[in-house]
Structure 1
Amino acid sequence: MLRYLVTLQAKDREGLVEQIAHAVSRHGGNWLDSELRHIDGIFAAILLLEVPAAQWDELLETLELLEDLSLTYAKTSKLQTKNKHVSYSLVAYDRPGLVHEISNKISALGINIEHMSTRYESASHTGIALFRADFNVSMQDSQDEERLTQALHGIGDDVVLDNLSS
């Protein structure tokens, strides 16, 4: 079995996930992990698949035949890491450059972002534009948690940060 990270993008339509899942199943694949999103009428997916080597080319051809679907892929391998994984939720007033500030602070500490989901929303009582990010990081040193918390609070007084791993 080979492992592939597959990204898909298409105009959203009913039944698209079922078509993809059917193709993977029909070619002996195992759907290991995924993120599926619908944003502004576009369906986007990141899939980690295990597929028999003899079936990969046929699966790829089947997926490429789906209407208006763009696809990229990369062969992967399972890495063994002993890093600590920590999950956070961050809320701040929305402003341009906020994702850059957050990612810069995390990167400067040598911490790896493994997953990040962001969204724009309005505060329920005031209507103020808010930015929300939920993210998972991988760090080698337990002291990195405190350094990361301090760095992210340094972005501004409006930053509310919750460690969801505790």
Structure 2
Amino acid sequence: MLRYLVTLQASDREGLVEQIAHAVSRHGGNWLDSELRHIDGIFAAIMLLEVPAAHWEPLLETLECLEGVSLTFAKTSAPIDKDTHLSYSLVAYDRPGLVHEISNKISALGINIEHMSTRYESASHSGIALFRADFNVGLKNPEHADKLTDALYAIGNDVVLDKVPS
């Protein structure tokens, strides 16, 4: 069995996930992990698939034949995980550059962002534009957790940061 990270995007339509799942199943693949999103009329997916070597090319051809799908892939291997994993939720007033500031603070500490989901929302009581980021990080040095918290709060007085139980 080979492991592949596959990314897909297409105009969103009913039944698209079922078509993808059917193709993976029909070719003996195992759907290990994924993120599926609908953003501004576009369906985007990132999937980790495990597929028998002899079935990879036929699966790839089937996925590429789905109407309007653009696809990329990379062969992977099972990771050796020695990191400490932490999850956070951050809310701040929305402004340009926040993702850059957050990722810069995290990267400067040598910490890896493993997952990040961001969204724009309005505060219910005031209508103020808010930015929300939920993210997971992998720390090689668990002692960097406090440094990370301090660095994220340094982005601004409006930052609210919660450590989320994993």
TM over 0.5: yes
Q: Give every structure 1 segment of 4 or more consecutive aligned residues whose post-TM-superposition deviation is greater than 2 Å.
A: none
User: Once superposed, what is the RMSD of the aligned Cα atoms?
Assistant: 0.7
CA distance in 1, matches of 2:119, 2:37: 12
Q: Which runs of 5+ in 1 are unaligned?
A: none
CA distance in 2, matches of 1:85, 1:146: 14
CA distance in 1, matches of 2:129, 2:150: 24
CA distance in 2, matches of 1:8, 1:142: 35
CA distance in 2, matches of 1:81, 1:60: 29
Which letter maps to 1:47? M
TM-score when normalising by structure 2 = 0.99
How many residues are aligned here? 166
1:36 is aligned to 2:36: yes
Aligned partner of residue 59 in structure 2, secondary structure: helix
1:131 is aligned to 2:121: no
Superposition map of 1:10-89 within 5 A? 10-89=10-89
Q: Which runs of 5+ in 2 are unaligned?
A: none
Aligned partner of residue 130 in structure 2, secondary structure: strand
Which residue in 2 is equivalent to 1:93? 93
Which residue in 2 is equivalent to 1:154? 154
Paired-residue identity, %? 80
Which letter maps to 1:152? L
Which letter maps to 1:78? A
Which letter maps to 1:64? E
- 1:62-111 deviation digits (Å, cap 9, x = unpaired): 00000000000000001112110000000000000000000000000000
Shifted more, 138-147 versus 26-35: the winner is 138-147
CA distance in 2, matches of 1:37, 1:152: 27
Aligned partner of residue 7 in structure 1, secondary structure: strand
Cα distance, 1:165 vs structure 2: 2.7
Which letter maps to 1:31? W
Cα distance, 1:153 vs structure 2: 0.1
